[in-house]
Amino acid sequence: MAKLRITLVKSANGYSPDQVSTVKTLGLRKINQFVVREDSLCLRGQVMKVKHLVIVKEEADAAK
């Protein structure tokens, strides 16, 4: 399965509490911090909710 690299590029301060908690749930705390997660429908939904705050790139699977 593909992996997604999610990078926080804009602060969540001033946005709705739902969006702030979604950013925290993704594991992002600081600007330019990134996490690598397995691609899933649940993760895609979270990313769509905060798409104006993050950049998403698909990473090549190193295990292959």
pLDDT of residue 60: 82
CATH architecture of 3-59: 2-Layer Sandwich (3.30)
pLDDT of residue 20: 97
pLDDT of residue 58: 94
pLDDT of residue 23: 98
Starting at the edge strand found earlier in the chain, the sheet holding 34-38 runs 34-38, 3-8, 54-59
Q: What is the mean pLDDT of each run of 10 residues along the chain (64 residues)?
A: 94 97 97 96 97 95 62
Domain boundaries, the chain: 3-59
